[in-house]
Amino acid sequence: MNTMVLAERVRKSFGHVDVLKGIDIEVHTGEVLCLIGPSGSGKSTFLRCVNNLETIDSGHIWVDGDLIGYDVRGRRLHHLKESAARRQRRDIGMVFQHFELFPHMTALENIVLSPIAVRGVPRAAAVERARHLLGKVGLADRADFYPSQLSGGQQQRVAIARALAMEPKLMLFDEPTSGLDPELVDEVLAVMGELAADGMTMIVVTHELGFARDVADTITFMADGVIVESGPPEQVIANPQHERTRSFLRRVRAETGAQATEGRSV
Ligand SMILES: Nc1ncnc2c1ncn2[C@@H]1O[C@H](COP(=O)(O)OP(=O)(O)O)[C@@H](O)[C@H]1O
Ligand SMILES: [Mg+2]
């Protein structure tokens, strides 16, 4: 089985706050890893390190065999130049909690922007692919709408289409449904579930336990910058080994209502 993401002993501090204290993660190509854990445990920081938006202090991250952020010359590591860092980043799609679409551009224009500007895709081809992607996220009829004319769930689906337009080999999601009204969560999770079924490799930070249970190959529970436990959903969600995992799951279920989130079909 091919490895898409391999993180080894990744450490990261901000000032004297140790945020990541030696993270080891492996995601095989075509698999979905859901990263769960309390607020402040370092989940977003880890995703930003994978995407080369933050540099790490020690350890290694490889994506599809590329060492992220560094260039190996002889036996020494050198920080990548910004142009090379950007090249690594453009192969990795990222969707955030706040969908950050450009407000003065239609859904279609938001999607074609980077393929044309960054990848040099001819406009006609970029538009054709954008329409195809809008269809995939269920918004074929919204191409010419501005973000303000779309619901939060629709905007987030456009954001997913926009990330996919760059033909990423890996998609990172950072709480993609946390900013949405509850009734809009399912439509976004459904699109993510289809993407997973199509074979996209994904790391998803989420509190949606139903999604994690149904879609994840691996669930990794992180707290205070360390991985407490990791395994298939039937282990981590149904039969957690650590008290910290159990108390976290209890809290999430109490906040979201287990019925509501785990009864969802995606
Ligand atoms: N740019 C930054 N500068 C300083 N501290 C940061 C920065 N980004 C994150 N942190 C700190 O790192 C810790 C982990 O944050 P984060 O990765 O956002 O956690 P999570 O996504 O799990 O909620 C928090 O204590 C946060 O305040
Ligand atoms: Mg976060």
pLDDT tens across 99-121, in order?
Answer: 789 999 999 999 999 999 999 99
Pocket test residue of 10, 23, 45 for ligand 1, highest count of atoms within 8 A of CB: 45
Span 190-207, pLDDT tens digits = 999 999 999 999 999 999
Confidence grade of residue 264 (pLDDT, cut at 50, 70, 90):
low
Residues 241, 230: Cα–Cα separation, whole Å: 10
pLDDT at 265 over 60: no
Residues 256, 78: Cα–Cα separation, whole Å: 45
Give percent of the chain with pLDDT exceeding 70.
96
Min mean pLDDT across 45-54, 179-188, 192-201, 256-265 is at: 256-265
| Residues with C-beta atoms within 5 A of ion ligand 2 | 43-44
Which segments of 64-215 are extended strands (E)? 66-67, 70-73, 76-79, 92-95, 170-174, 202-205
**Which of 89-103, 150-164, 205-219, 238-252 is predicted least confidently?**
89-103
pLDDT band at 144 (very low <50, low <70, confident <90, very high): very high
Using an 8 Å Cβ cutoff, are 255 and 70 in contact?
Answer: no
Kindly give the distance from the C-alpha atom of residue 54 to the centroid of ligand 2, in angstroms, as a whole number. Answer: 14
- Give backbone dihedrals phi and psi of 84, rounded to 5 degrees, phi first: -70, -35
Backbone angles phi, psi at 106, to 5 degrees: -70, 170
Instruction: Tell me the whole-structure pTM to 2 decimals.
Output: 0.94
Distances (CA, A) of 9 to 22, 45, 84, 130: 4, 14, 23, 38
The pLDDT value given to residue 93 = 96
d(CA 200, CA 136): 14
**Residue of higher predicted confidence among 100 and 141:** 141
Q: Is 45 in the pocket of ligand 1 (CB under 6 A)?
A: yes
Q: Tokens 């995939």, residue?
A: 136
Distance 45 CA to ligand 1 centre (A): 6
Quickly state the pLDDT bin for 263 (edges 50, 70, 90).
Answer: low
